[in-house]
Amino acid sequence: MLTRAGRYDWAVTEFVRVSGTLLPRKSFTRVCPELHAGARTGSGTPVRVQLMGSDPVCLAENAARLAELQPAGIDLNFGCPAPLVNRHRGGAALLDEPELLHRIAAAVRGAVPQAIPVTAKMRLGIADTARALDCARALAAGGVQALAVHARTRSDGYRPQVRWEWVARIREAVALPVIANGEVWNVADWRAIRSATGCDDVMLGRGAVADPFLSRRIRGERDEAVGATDWQDLQPLLADFWSQVRVKLEPRHAPGRLKQWLGLLQRNYPAAEAFYRRVREMKDVSAISAALGRSIILSVRTGLPGQARGEDSSYSTASRPPPPPPQPSPPGAAKAAAPAAPPCRGPLTASRPPAAALGHNASDRMIENTP
């Protein structure tokens, strides 16, 4: 959805959790349905699939299976600060173990064809930055081809204060492209993070959700400040998003997804703030749809009269009917148990091929990451 509003060099999915089993292919296509379409969004943005775990062998075997689906790249998550994830040794919980980070990177790189990029994302540490450089060097030595660095520790969470200067230190310490990330909400923040870090590339997360046109503002394709026409252009995306949410989620979960997006949009769009206040207490899908209709959002949704000129509708499900309800089984019919996922086998025997030379485009690149 966001890649329709902005222009990105590539995007990264939510993480796929890898823990002890060899996942079926549907585990990857569920998180990244774009794998069915050449690993590109409807607007043509390449999509890389992110893996998260702590077992080098299991991550490598799952990366090899994922590679069969031809993703635009494979990304390793060492940045998630969520307590539940960290309790199970995922994400930022590994940032005190640079040796393990190296083993994971080397195993995954060795299991994946060189034509598929392997990248990683990390925070600056768990409670402090003492091992930030060690972790970055370990990942570089393990063969990752680019490193996104979120300028906070795990303990920092999402506090507004960021440590961009540490991203600069990491960039100087490793011989691979470093992508700066953290607290970029507008064009001024983008200029500031590039100046402070020296990085050519910037990863946008929540900032792109709060202003879907941020990447175009950065590229000089829209005014730097949010204007009235931006809200008009955003309405077809909101309507299409709501239509997709209603198809994909149970009715009790759908309103929360819309409210989450409106909650971030209200940072920049007064009309989003007003609409958020109107639907905040609503739980009924029909009531929210009616409120959207009164706001003239549904009348301009993708594929209907009033569609914004130039919008890509190839990724739209606005007119897709809901899936049919499941049919009851006949009396006495036995339900077949789903086969359990096989465990990961054990140490890989393939040695890691030498890392391919990386051609780095020094022009301003825009990478979108799921916040």
Rounded distance, CA 117 to CA 348, Å? 20
CB 224 within 8 A of CB 186: yes
SS3 state at 270: helix
CB 16 within 8 A of CB 52: yes
Rounded distance, CA 277 to CA 347, Å? 54
Nearest to 52 by CA among 18, 28, 79, 97: 18
Rounded distance, CA 169 to CA 132, Å? 9
Of the candidates 32, 80, 199, 344, the residue annotated as catalytic is 80
Told to judge if 80 belongs to the known catalytic residues of this protein, a careful annotator would answer yes
Which H/E stretch holds residue 119?
A: strand 118-122
Rounded distance, CA 321 to CA 317, Å? 8
The β-bridge partners of 121 are: 77, 148
* Token code pair at residue 196: 């402070």
**H helix intervals, 8-94:** 25-31, 56-67, 83-87
CA angle 34, 38, 43 (to 5 degrees): 65
**H helix intervals, the chain:** 2-5, 25-31, 56-67, 83-87, 98-111, 132-142, 164-173, 187-197, 206-210, 214-218, 228-248, 254-265, 270-279, 285-294
Q: Write the CA distances from 218 to 47, 176, 204, 205, 350, integer angstroms.
A: 21, 24, 11, 14, 43
Strand duo 118-122 + 147-150: pairing: parallel
Rounded distance, CA 85 to CA 348, Å? 26
CB 238 within 8 A of CB 266: no
Altogether, the residues listed in the chain come to a count of: 371
Active site residues: 80
